[in-house]
Structure 1
Amino acid sequence: MAAPALLRQCRGMVSLLYSTSRYNSSSTGSTANPVKVGVLQYLSNRFYDVETFVDVSKALKKWNLHRKNKLCIEACERYGFEVGAAVFVLNLKGRIRAWGQNNWYQNSITKWKNDLDFQNYEEIRLEAIDVSGSIISYNGLDNLVNLKALKYLDLSRCPNIDDWSLCRLTAFGDTLEELSLAGCPRITERGLACLHHLQNLKHLDVSDLPSVQHKELVRILLEEMLPQCDIVGMGYGEMEPRVEDAVNRDEMEEHQEATSNLKTREIHT
């Protein structure tokens, strides 16, 4: 919204300069600089095209985001939700690991199909998914919520994951053990409060969340909600000093001051 408004203001300024230039040349009887007038006229006309280009670019970006986060209906209907989720993740350049596999897979779905031999595709269960840094959004999670055995999920550095997206993770309350939300700029403490449904969670990475306020209090809240979970990020190093630490510091300062005064008296005597 800011870019089109700025373009409109610039367009108005250019039009005003162009009109002023023409008015000054006609009122004073002098000949205006043809280069300057030509440039101003060109910019005044082209700002309409620039604003249209910005609007079209935003519309295309929104359409592409929606397209890449659509439910893979065909794959789900033909092979089931597990394979449908694999198709979605691999199309986002992510990584997957199924039960019984030791290594991550991130190539094309066709090669994965050949490697696993989809004769028994109904028995495939995805254990781990990594879509870090991708454009996955709230709608894209439709492709994952039906997974029955997901234990590891990496959503770090995903710019479209927000508080509403975290509400959808309740579908993994019985299975999910490791979750990374590090570096997601749209997540706030409201979304993190939804994680209390993940009672089997053993590892949670919530580092580098710029939209979370009062990180020390959120850390305490997460520890109370998930007592069995190892929480990374929002460490106690970011918290205010405890009362005990403040008292100890004051006592140490008093001791050092008393020692210094004693040494001063000894020197004078």
Structure 2
Amino acid sequence: MAAPRASLNLVAPVWNGVTKSIRDLSSSVAPKGSQKKGKRLLQFLADRFYDVEALREYLLQKQVSKVHQENRSFTYIKERYGPYVAGAYFVLKQGGAVKFQGQEWIQSSGRRPSSLELLSFQAVPVESVDASDCAINYEGLDNLLALKELQSLSLQRCPHVDDWCLSRLYQLADSLQELSLAGCPRVSERGLACLHHLQNLRRLDISDLPAVSNPGLTQILMEEMLPNCEVLGADWAQGLKSRPEKQSQDTASPTPA
């Protein structure tokens, strides 16, 4: 005969003569005031986090729009005053400096340049451009590629100059002799390979390019690609992996047959 089953009765606890359920117990553990404060805190954090993300997105979009605006093509100035005035106006507006043939350097004075101030150089080619630390990007190069007599171009530390920008410099192959890309964070080996069109280059600075994984090997390849150009910036041994030393053969060990 099977033993009788023991019945298990769950009895809710009685507090002060009042029976309370499990749900009532949970509410009694956390006071209502604390729950309201917790909800308000979570809501505050959620709203504030959303506001910070929205502000961050707004500032990012505003920065992108500003860079795009600064790199627009000055078609009106180019059509009315010619490519030299338009190119010089663009560089000076970016905060750079230009040099016309036979003239001294003209630097940005911190104020917005006037195209009327450059009218005396309307027929004088621009031979040098220093656009270091400027916000030039792919579209902004349109203002420089029209300078067909340009001999020297410095794009040092330009944050928006990338490999795609370098792929457009072949349009200056007939005149460009000096090019500096030092400190451009978005230039890699792929972009440098596009410079093989610039066979008239005599000086190329590729120092401090964080996107280049092997500076030493890259310099060797650039020197082979541009044999008449002095490549500066990278130590030839930097990044080169040393060959593993050949293990000396143990003369005491037997020679395999």
In structure 1, distance between residues paired with 2:45 and 2:221? 55
Q: CA deviation at 1:201?
A: 0.6
Query: What is the Cα-based RMSD across aligned positions, in Å?
Result: 2.5
SS in 2 for 1:109: coil
**Structure 1 residues 106, 25: CA separation in 2 closer, same or farther (over 3 Å shift)?**
farther
Instruction: Judging by fraction of residues, say which structure has more helix.
Output: 1
Q: CA deviation at 1:37?
A: 5.2
Mapping of 1:127-206 within 5 angstroms? 127-206=127-206
Aligned equivalent of 1:54, options 49, 53, 56: 56
In structure 2, distance between residues paired with 1:113 and 1:100? 20
**Structure 1 residues 103, 64: CA separation in 2 closer, same or farther (over 3 Å shift)?**
closer
Aligned equivalent of 2:47, options 45, 49, 55: 45
In structure 2, distance between residues paired with 1:141 and 1:152? 15
In structure 2, runs of 5+ residues without a counterpart are 1-24, 249-257
Q: CA deviation at 1:73?
A: 1.3
Tell me if structure 2 keeps the 8 A contact 1:25–1:32: no
In structure 1, distance between residues paired with 2:26 and 2:94? 59
In structure 1, distance between residues paired with 2:126 and 2:174? 15
Tell me if structure 1 keeps the 8 A contact 2:92–2:108: yes
- Corresponding residue for residue 28 of structure 1: 29
In structure 1, distance between residues paired with 2:204 and 2:66? 30
**Structure 1 residues 47, 124: CA separation in 2 closer, same or farther (over 3 Å shift)?**
same
1:39-93 deviation per Cα after TM superposition (whole angstroms, max 9, x unaligned): 4332222222222212211111111111111101111111011111111101101
Q: CA deviation at 1:113?
A: 4.4
**Structure 1 residues 26, 133: CA separation in 2 closer, same or farther (over 3 Å shift)?**
farther
- Give % identity: 42
**Structure 1 residues 150, 37: CA separation in 2 closer, same or farther (over 3 Å shift)?**
same
**Structure 1 residues 101, 113: CA separation in 2 closer, same or farther (over 3 Å shift)?**
farther
> Taking structure 1 as the reference length, what is the TM-score of the superposition?
0.74
Instruction: Return the letter of the residue paired with 1:66.
Output: H
In structure 1, runs of 5+ residues without a counterpart are 1-23, 251-269
Q: What count of residue pairs does the alignment treat as equivalent?
A: 219
Tell me if structure 1 keeps the 8 A contact 2:220–2:236: no
Tell me if structure 2 keeps the 8 A contact 1:86–1:109: no
Instruction: Return the letter of the residue paired with 1:47.
Output: F
SS in 1 for 2:234: coil
SS in 2 for 1:63: helix
In structure 1, distance between residues paired with 2:214 and 2:120? 52
In structure 1, distance between residues paired with 2:213 and 2:78? 40
**Structure 1 residues 25, 211: CA separation in 2 closer, same or farther (over 3 Å shift)?**
farther
Instruction: Return the letter of the residue paired with 2:199.
Output: Q
Instruction: Return the letter of the residue paired with 1:160.
Output: H
**Structure 1 residues 120, 211: CA separation in 2 closer, same or farther (over 3 Å shift)?**
closer
Give yes or no for the alignment of 1:234 onto 2:234.
yes
Q: CA deviation at 1:26?
A: 4.0
